[in-house]
Amino acid sequence: MADFLYGFSVALTFQNLFYCLLGVLMGTLVGVLPGLGPVAAMSLLFTTTLHLSPVSGMIMLAGIYYGAQYGGSTTSILLNIPGEASSVVTCLDGYQMARQGKAGPALGISAFGSFIGGTLSVIGLMIMAPPLAHFALKFGFPEYFALMCLGLVIVSFLARGSMIKAMLMAAFGLFLGTTGIDLIVGKPRFTFGIKSLMDGVGLIPVVMGLFGVSEVLLNMEEGLSRQVFRAKISNLLPSRQDWKDSIKPILRGTVLGFFLGILPGGGAIVSAFTSYAVEKRVSKYPEKFGTGVIEGVAGPETANNAGSTGAFVPLLTLGIPSNAVMALLLGLLLTHGVQVGPLLLKNNSDIFWGVIVSMYIGNVILLVLNLPLIGLWIKILKVPYPILFPFILLFCVVGSYSLNNNTEDVLLMLVFGGIGYFFKKFDYEGAPMILALVLSPMMENALRQSLLVSQGDFLIFITRPISATLLFVTLVLLLYPLIPWFRFRRRLASLGGDKV
Amino acid sequence: MKKREKDRISALIWLAVAMAICIGGVRLSLGGFSKPGPGLFPFLIGSVLGLLAVIIFFQSLREGPGDEGKAMWPHPQRSLKVIYILIALILYAIGMDYLGFSVSTLLFLGFLLKAIEPQRWTAVLCGSIFGTIVFYGVFRYWLDVPFPEGILGF
């Protein structure tokens, strides 16, 4: 409790409060723009947080994150355009509600739901993080290596498309992470004589290219047609009946979201989808889902917010990001030279508790701010895309330029913009790659240090109980997709069709 | 293009990438397991990448003709815009060092606003001039980013 109060003392300084507000505002602003979700918003605005202290920077970047998340819900409800994958489900019922003239309550409940889910899961985070960080102190190199293997496999397992393709993207991300000066012998790897690759392929240019530039290219190609509801949005406050319908989905969404959020690759997306499925399952009128029922908005909107908070657990306790959003936050900590890992809680408690409390405050700001500001967001939505896109691109260029003040980073970002365009065309998902890119140096270091300790004996990963367990779970997940195939063959064999 | 065709093409590209990574790894020296060299980890990753590419390739062979799938480039006219935008971006990135931030940004915004989906001249002029001023102001003075000044000196 004393720690929590300490967090308040950090987060409530005028300066941090200001950056929290600024982050939430700018995040919402970018999140409202079509096609740009939280990840894009954070990478676009990343440079604006660099000149701050680590605590203020983290607070602002986290603010950008949930601001963008909320901005995404707004576009889903009003336009049927999800800012990113996690708001896809919000479109299903939210947009229908808007068409029936109930855009107000839909926006209102998603704000309240996010607030309740966010608040409760901050409490969950406070309870879970310290013991987990304590446990993680037992982790050595082999455990970290095994944990990261498990993480990458879970990410691929939870990916929306093909698991193999997601794993391939993760492998490619791991490769990208090996570029630059080798950590142990100091030899440059895969740099092709390019100066800015000496420090490795930068996270921000890659994310900006993949989630910013390529998104704009695809939108321009497809030609976004948008229709904003001209209907006036009145009474944002949900009615008593709305509350009665929503309160249980909100509570279920919170619990579900928080625990799914802890999983690698879980975070907002899986939480939102699962919550929608659960609400539909337990509903007395499942057939009405998709026609504009408020439960279909309240549950997922709460869950994705709770999930985002849950995702902080592995980052703040183990120093391992579980999705692209957390990877960016980790990136910020690393640029400031903050030691991440189990000791973060002890050595940098101002960051830990300050950020946690600011998330709570940020949720309040979001609630207070967005209800009256919705009119403004709608105005921005009405700016035609052909006028908007040059500025989004300009943001990407200037943002990547300002990282190291050179144009090489800009060109790198453009290369990934082009690559990202083809990824989409060939149905490859970028998120596992981003995560792997960040994990790669840590994973390689863990592998090489483990092998040095064991003098080349791979048994070190199996003889230690924690790492053995983690690797066993990894193996099970890897083999899981094969199970139906085995059953299929056995059934065919029992039918006498043994020629398969 | 059908899904299996897409998968087949992309799998072959990935396989080539994987082989390049493995060769690169060997050149960097693999070392032994007891004394891992700088090329070992990339080599292992390259092998996994290659294996996955092979799996995708064979999976696509097993798949039936399947759905027709979306055409890769249904509107060539619109896709041309993508190429224009990319060229504009590359020229902007390179030109910034020579022309300076203000001039190149003005040209970049003006081109995108007028040439891709033509706007009225007033919108083009207002958009590019105000855009340049706002971005210059925010990044130069608030965030202290030293933009290239170029031959014209601003």
Q: How far apart (Å, rounded) are the C-alpha atoms in residues B142 and A414?
A: 25
Say whether A221 and B3 touch across the interface (CB within 8 A). no
Q: How far is B101 from chain A (nearest CA, A)?
A: 10
DSSP string, A268-295: HHHHHHHHHHHHHHH-S-GGGTTS--TH
Mark A458-496 as b/e (b = at least 16 C-beta within 10 Å).
eebbeebebbbebbeebeebeeeeeeeeeeeeeeeeeee
Which chain B residue has the Cα nearest residue A215?
A: B82
- Identify whether residues B98 and B52 lie together within a single domain: no
B113 vs A: CB within 8 A? yes
What is the average per-residue pLDDT within B121-144? Answer: 87
CA-to-CA dists, residue B125 to B95, B119, B129, angstroms: 20, 10, 6
Provide the mean pLDDT of chain B: 86
A397 vs B: CB within 8 A? yes
Identify the H or E element spanning B122. helix B121-136
pLDDT band at B43 (very low <50, low <70, confident <90, very high): very high
For chain B, how many structural domains are there in total?
Answer: 2
| Residue B20: domain span | 3-62
A29 vs B: CB within 8 A? no
A141 vs B: CB within 8 A? no
Task: Determine which of B2, B52, B87 to mutate to test the interface with A (most A C-beta atoms within 10 Å).
Answer: B52
Helices A214-222 and B76-99: angle between axes, nearest 10 degrees: 140
What amino acid occupies position A49? Answer: T
A165 vs B: CB within 8 A? yes
Say whether A174 and B56 touch across the interface (CB within 8 A). no
Where do the H-state alpha helices sit in A137-187?
A: 141-158, 163-177
**Amino acid A50: pLDDT:** 83
**Amino acid B32: pLDDT:** 77
Say whether B85 and A222 touch across the interface (CB within 8 A). no
- Identify whether residues B137 and B80 lie together within a single domain: yes
Indicate the range of A448-462, B7-21, B67-81 predicted with least confidence: B67-81
**Amino acid A462: pLDDT:** 86
Tell me the pLDDT tens digit for each residue of A198-256.
888 888 899 889 888 998 898 888 876 666 655 556 667 788 888 888 889 999 999 99
Take residue A74 and report the two structure tokens written for it.
């707004």
**Amino acid A104: pLDDT:** 82
> What is the residue-level pLDDT of chain A in tens, covering all 500 positions?
677 777 777 777 888 889 999 999 988 888 888 777 788 888 888 888 888 888 899 889 988 988 888 888 887 888 777 766 677 788 888 888 888 888 888 888 888 888 888 888 888 888 888 888 888 888 889 998 998 898 888 888 877 778 889 999 999 999 999 998 887 777 888 888 787 788 888 888 998 898 889 988 988 888 766 666 555 566 677 888 888 888 899 999 999 989 888 887 666 777 888 888 888 888 888 888 888 888 888 999 888 888 888 888 888 888 888 888 888 888 888 888 888 888 887 888 888 888 888 887 887 888 787 777 877 887 887 788 888 889 989 988 988 888 888 888 899 999 999 999 999 888 898 888 988 998 898 899 889 889 888 888 888 888 898 899 999 998 988 887 766 666 666 666 666 544 33
B38 belongs to a structural domain: yes
**Amino acid A231: pLDDT:** 54
Task: Determine which of A175, A184, A448 to mutate to test the interface with B (most B C-beta atoms within 10 Å).
Answer: A175
- Give chain B's count of helices (H) and strands (E): 5, 0
**Amino acid A416: pLDDT:** 94
Q: State the CB neighbour count (10 A cutoff) for residue A226.
A: 14
Q: Beta partners for A189?
A: A180
In three-state secondary structure terms, A13 is coil
Question: HEC states along B33-61?
Answer: CCCECCCHHHHHHHHHHHHHHHHHHHHHH
Mark A408-444 as b/e (b = at least 16 C-beta within 10 Å).
bbbbbbbbbbbbbbebebbebbbbbbbbbbbbbbbbb
B68 belongs to a structural domain: no
- Identify whether residues B133 and B83 lie together within a single domain: yes
- Identify whether residues B42 and B8 lie together within a single domain: yes
In three-state secondary structure terms, A139 is coil
Q: Which residues contact A239 (CB under 8 A, 6 or more apart)?
A: A105
- Identify whether residues B56 and B19 lie together within a single domain: yes
Q: How far apart (Å, rounded) are the C-alpha atoms in residues A470 and A466?
A: 6
Take residue A492 and report the two structure tokens written for it.
């065919």
Q: How far is A413 from chain B (nearest CA, A)?
A: 10
Contact indicator for A276, A300 with CB cutoff of 8 Å? yes
**Amino acid A494: pLDDT:** 65
Take residue B88 and report the two structure tokens written for it.
């504009």
Take residue A311 and report the two structure tokens written for it.
């995702």
- Identify whether residues B9 and B53 lie together within a single domain: yes
Q: Which residues contact A40 (CB under 8 A, 6 or more apart)?
A: A30, A68, A84, A207, A208, A211, A212, A215
Q: How far apart (Å, rounded) are the C-alpha atoms in residues A58 and A60?
A: 5
**Amino acid A420: pLDDT:** 93
Q: Which ipTM value was assigned to this complex?
A: 0.91
User: Which residue do the tokens 């507000």 mark?
Assistant: A21
Phi, psi of B111, rounded to the nearest 5 degrees: -65, -50
Say whether B135 and A398 touch across the interface (CB within 8 A). yes
Task: Determine which of A49, A164, A168 to mutate to test the interface with B (most B C-beta atoms within 10 Å).
Answer: A168
**Amino acid A499: pLDDT:** 39
- Identify whether residues B40 and B80 lie together within a single domain: no
Q: How large a percentage of chain B has pLDDT more than 70?
A: 92
Q: How far apart (Å, rounded) are the C-alpha atoms in residues B38 and B41?
A: 7
- Identify whether residues B94 and B127 lie together within a single domain: yes
**For A103-185, where are the E strands, in sequence order?**
180-181
B85 belongs to a structural domain: yes
- Identify whether residues B57 and B86 lie together within a single domain: no
**Amino acid A408: pLDDT:** 87
CA-to-CA dists, residue A84 to A40, A267, A321, A410, angstroms: 9, 13, 19, 24
- Identify whether residues B12 and B56 lie together within a single domain: yes
- Identify whether residues B85 and B137 lie together within a single domain: yes
B152 belongs to a structural domain: no
In three-state secondary structure terms, A188 is strand
What amino acid occupies position A237? Answer: L
